[in-house]
Amino acid sequence: MKKTFLFSILLLIAIIFSPNFSNAETSKVTSEDDLRSAIENASADSNIIELTTDIELTKPIEITDKNITINGNNFSISKNANTWTANGSNSSLITAGKSAKLTLSNITLKNSVKYGVQSYNGGYVILDGVSIYDCGYGGVLVNAGTVEIRNLSLGHNGPENSNNGIEIAKGKELPDAENSNQPKLIMNGVLNSSQTTNVIYLATNDNLTEFSVGNSDTSQDKIFINGDKVVLTDKNNNVKFESNENQKIQMQGESFKEEVIITIYLMDKTTTVTVPVGTLTTKEDLINKINLASLGLSNYNLVNFFTNAEYTTEFDFSTPITTDTTIYAKLTATQKDETPKTGIDNNISTALFIIVMCALTITILKRKDIKQE
């Protein structure tokens, strides 16, 4: 009995402290007042708010010092008509401020006076299954904060005759002129847009001097630095969108490559092949690009390609090559032809021998006839 009781206590403790154990509070909201109350009463830890209907806001929502997930359940948050103007520094629908982490999932943001969502002064925003359109200034404002994109779809945002999808900025209104927070954009999934221009826009009229980009290992779309601008590529490294140029910004992150280098080890030899990034090559293509004779390997045949020097794992040619890659080629020595010649060359030699012997025989016979006379 005591053992059973002790086991139950230990099991309970293990569950409570398990990484998969969550004590996040979930609130279902049906109105703007419910939403604001759920945010105000949220703890500093994990909180989940679920929408049960579309919600219109009469003023912006600002979140600081809290970790909140808003699951829209495919509903929307928008501005209430005629109750909200662009006056003031912040007219985004939702802002994650200092020390805040905001996750938006399965939700539409629309009709904001300025921006749909903002990460401000160190705030962290995750966009997962989010659609943003018809916002007056832009869709997303990365204002000295961090935005992680998992699944984001952008429509038209900004003035009528232009577009501003994701704006990278460091506003002049930041409270501390020496503030160390800098904007960062992280790709961890897919970014789609119905627009093609300024899907990512680097602000030119504020305090923006630094900006960094990053990609998760599993992200389908990736963001890179390309000179004085950034580019977004798809899984095959095709450029989907590119930003405007801004020479005054110091940008950090992975540089965009149009070509990758395949380094191939062949016994004690090494050669390289350059192909466009995202190339879907084949074993035959690669074999045709390698000149064994120029490497002093003319007495060998190239059999296959592997990812390791022990030739235990074949190289996977079904996946496009997007980064510099090392491949090990397996060679086999060619076999010498020891079969006796029976072809045309051999027949010609035999015929010549017979002709010579016949000529010699005729000469000998003629000499005998002469002697007999």
DSSP 27-94: EEE-SHHHHHHHHHT--SSEEEEEESS-EEESS-EEE-S-EEEEEEEEEEEEEPTTS--S-SS---SE
Q: Is 369 left (phi over 0), alpha (psi -120 to 50) or beta?
A: alpha
CATH of the domain at 301: 2.60.40.4270
Note whether 170 and 299 are same-domain residues.
no
Note whether 73 and 94 are same-domain residues.
yes
Note whether 182 and 296 are same-domain residues.
no
Note whether 60 and 197 are same-domain residues.
yes
Note whether 272 and 240 are same-domain residues.
no
Note whether 134 and 106 are same-domain residues.
yes
Q: Work out how many domains the chain is built from and give that number.
A: 2
329 inside domain: yes
Contact of 191 with 156, CB cutoff 8 Å? no
8 inside domain: no
Q: Which two tokens stand for residue 166?
A: 């994701």
* Cα angle 304, 310, 312; round to 5: 65
pTM for this predicted structure: 0.71
Three-class DSSP labels, 14-25: HHHCCCCCCCCE
Which residues, in sequence order, are bridge partners of residue 69?
A: 48, 103
* Confidence label for 44 from pLDDT (cuts 50, 70 and 90): confident
Note whether 38 and 127 are same-domain residues.
yes
Note whether 240 and 103 are same-domain residues.
yes
Note whether 32 and 84 are same-domain residues.
yes
pLDDT reported for residue 17: 47
DSSP H helices, 90-245, are none
What would the pLDDT profile of 125-181 be if each residue is shown by its tens digit?
999 999 999 999 999 999 999 999 999 999 999 998 999 999 999 987 776 555 678
The parent domain of residue 314 ranges over 259-333
Note whether 176 and 133 are same-domain residues.
yes
Note whether 263 and 248 are same-domain residues.
no
DSSP letter at 101?
A: E
